Amino acid sequence: MIYAVGVVSSSREAELKASSSIAQALSSMGYSVVLVSSNGEYAELRGAPLMEVTCARGATFVKANWHVRVEDLQKIMPTEGCIAIVNGFRSRDYIVAAIRSEDLKLCGEKCIAVVPLSREVEEEVRSRGLRLMSVDEVASELLRRALRELLRELPGLNCGDCGYSSCEQMASMVLKGLESLSKCSKRSIPVKLEVDGVEVKLNPFTTRMFAEVLRGLIAILKGVPKKSCRVKLEVHFEELNPAS
């Protein structure tokens, strides 16, 4: 799982300064980071062709001598989870590195925060009521969002079978490259959905949602074993809403 976030500015130097500082803050906490630079021509992250990549290993950036798609970044990362910081993109979550007032025009619906790179801009950001963050605050926010995405790959049971007290702790270790998602024995919850005899494929998030909703409803029913392992449910909507 790669959580990708953009860093934009009117100055390429400002973009690099902010993205490098954020990457260093995350890597200093032990998390896997990849720093991606591009010419900003592409509108989408996933599937965007040929970007120059710089990989963060600890506090050291090692420039790669090849080009790679963002969706293929996982192949050059040693961990299952990482945070990709992409210069020049704002089609998804992004940070504005503001070195002058005109940079504030880049703020939009998907802007997470503004990182001011001058005292004058900082004062203007405050006066406009925009969300101002320091580099460390941005790093913490990106970590929170990356963990949220990675938790979608885990069942959310907090059972402890993996050796960690919670799924969030497990996700944090995966994002640090110290653990593998395969250690979760309950990651795959078998949920089969059929509509009018046709099986509907479910992604991991929807599978977990169905399982957790049913688990919660069944838990309050009398006469049902507390550790029910297999549930079969049929709903006939035509009987619930008969035609008038």
Name the residue range of residue 158's domain.
Answer: 153-183
pTM over 0.75, yes/no: no
74's tokens: 């996982």
Return the amino acid letter for 60.
Answer: T
The domain tally of the chain equals 3
Q: What is the pLDDT of residues 9-30, one digit of tens each?
A: 999 899 989 998 998 899 889 8
Task: Kindly state whether residues 38 and 110 are assigned to the same domain.
Answer: yes
Statement to judge: residues 162 and 71 lie in one domain = no
Residue 60 has pLDDT above 60, yes or no: no
Length of the chain: 244
In a domain, 188, yes or no: no
Domain shared by 114 and 176, yes or no: no
117 with 133, same domain?
A: yes
Classify the C-alpha dihedral 208-172-83-65 as positive or negative.
Answer: negative
Assess whether 133 and 224 both reside in one domain. Answer: no
CA 46 – CA 2 distance, rounded (Å): 10
Average pLDDT in the chain: 79
State CA 96 to chain mean position distance: 18
| Of the candidate ranges 43-47, 50-54, 121-125, 143-147, the one whose mean pLDDT is the lowest | 43-47
In a domain, 42, yes or no: yes
Same domain as 179, residue 197: no
